[in-house]
């Protein structure tokens, strides 16, 4: 069956949802809806927060998942769509679940020797001072949230406990990750290739929710200023991290670089943002793909993988 078969029935764009990233998902979903409509596809927005969302999938031949966070990016929606017989964009159940869980992602990467920062899991009984003595300054984050939600830094036992309590409001556990002092990069993956890397600069303490989605002062460098050899290195590392989790079609890999020039993988996002501030459309533009072409390529690759 060819991609043209998708024009015979509506594409459901899943957006919104009930996670802490709902508002960003609504924006991403609208970007996708607009792009698909500009390409001549029939589009049906579907919000899983609505009671009748399953019935709204009836007659749809395909689903573009533009949901962020738990319930949309963690494998549960992917499993639901598979059970309903609706092919969808992006990674499958396993890749989605692993990538959403930062702790298990890092455990897997550590096991295969991929470069990732040191980390520990935190509980209410953690030795706060012992963690600081071992790792130094850390970033504390919920294991299963995105968009830097619930994330903060700590460089003392008291600050670490406060950061744990803040992150503990979200489900999925909490981890403390060793602070890497250096620039942050992101690499978008599309199919079997890495798009040009982007270097991020913010005046905030780190690239947090405000810097990602609200601030107009965040600086994005694409080209990122790396040499061709360094660009090849970060691309290879990003693809390794992406594939090792069983991810597919498209996504974004976030990395840091220390003072010695070594890159460290932070996390993989299987459904990155598609807003006006988002990074995958920016990287795609640097590779010569406008947003409609990017969206259609995601659909094509996903459709091919589902056949």
Rounded to whole angstroms, how far apart are CA atoms 171 and 235?
32
pLDDT in tens, the chain (307 residues): 566 778 889 999 999 999 988 999 999 999 999 999 999 999 999 999 999 999 999 999 999 999 998 899 999 999 999 999 999 999 999 999 999 999 999 999 999 999 999 999 999 999 999 999 999 999 998 887 765 677 889 999 999 999 999 888 776 789 999 999 999 999 999 999 999 999 998 775 554 455 444 446 778 999 999 999 999 999 999 999 999 999 999 999 999 999 999 999 999 999 999 988 899 999 999 999 999 999 999 999 999 988 7
What is the Rg, in whole angstroms, of the alpha carbon atoms belonging to the chain? 19
pLDDT score of 211: 46
CATH number assigned to the domain with residue range 118-178, chosen from the 4 options 3.30.1490.20, 3.40.50.970, 2.40.50.140, 3.40.1160.10: 3.30.1490.20
* Fold observed for domain 184-306: D-amino Acid Aminotransferase; Chain A, domain 1 (3.30.470)
CATH of 3-90, one of 3.40.1350.10, 3.40.50.20, 3.40.50.720, 3.40.50.2000: 3.40.50.20
pLDDT at 64: 98
Q: What is the pTM of this model?
A: 0.90
Q: Which positions are annotated as active-site residues?
A: 21, 147, 213, 252, 254, 267, 269, 273
Residue ranges covered by each domain of the chain = 3-90, 118-178, 184-306
- Note the pLDDT of residue 213: 47
pLDDT of 276: 80
**How far is it, in rounded angstroms, from Cα 69 to Cα 217?**
25
Instruction: Give the pLDDT confidence score for residue 145 in this predicted structure.
Output: 72
């Amino acid at each position: 069956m060819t991609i043209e078969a998708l024009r015979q029935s509506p594409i459901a764009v899943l957006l919104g949802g009930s996670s802490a990233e709902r508002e960003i998902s609504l924006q991403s979903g609208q970007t996708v809806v607009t792009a698909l409509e500009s390409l001549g596809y029939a589009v049906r927005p579907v919000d899983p927060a609505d009671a009748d969302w399953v019935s709204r999938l009836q007659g749809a031949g395909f689903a573009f998942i533009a949901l962020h966070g738990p319930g949309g990016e963690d494998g549960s929606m992917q499993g639901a769509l598979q059970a309903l017989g609706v092919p969808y964009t992006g990674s499958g159940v396993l890749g989605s679940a692993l990538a959403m869980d930062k702790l298990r992602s890092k455990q897997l990467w550590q096991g295969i020797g991929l470069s990732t920062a040191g980390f520990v899991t935190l509980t209410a009984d953690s030795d706060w001072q012992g963690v600081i003595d071992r790792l130094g300054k850390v970033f504390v984050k919920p294991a299963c949230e995105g968009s830097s939600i619930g994330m903060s830094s700590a460089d003392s036992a008291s600050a670490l406990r406060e950061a744990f309590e803040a992150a503990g409001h979200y489900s999925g556990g909490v981890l403390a990750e060793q602070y890497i002092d250096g620039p942050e990069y992101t690499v978008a993956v599309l199919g079997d290739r890495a798009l040009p890397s982007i270097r991020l600069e913010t005046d905030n303490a780190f690239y947090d929710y405000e810097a990602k989605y609200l601030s107009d002062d965040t600086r994005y460098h694409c080209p990122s200023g790396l040499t061709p050899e360094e660009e090849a290195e970060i691309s290879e590392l990003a693809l390794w991290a992406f594939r090792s989790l069983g991810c597919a079609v498209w996504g974004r890999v976030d990395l840091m670089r220390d003072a010695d020039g070594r890159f460290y993988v932070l996390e993989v996002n299987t459904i990155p943002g598609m807003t006006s501030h988002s990074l995958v459309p920016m990287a795609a533009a640097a590779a010569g793909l406008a947003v409609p072409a990017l969206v259609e390529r995601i659909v094509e690759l996903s459709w091919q993988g589902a056949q």
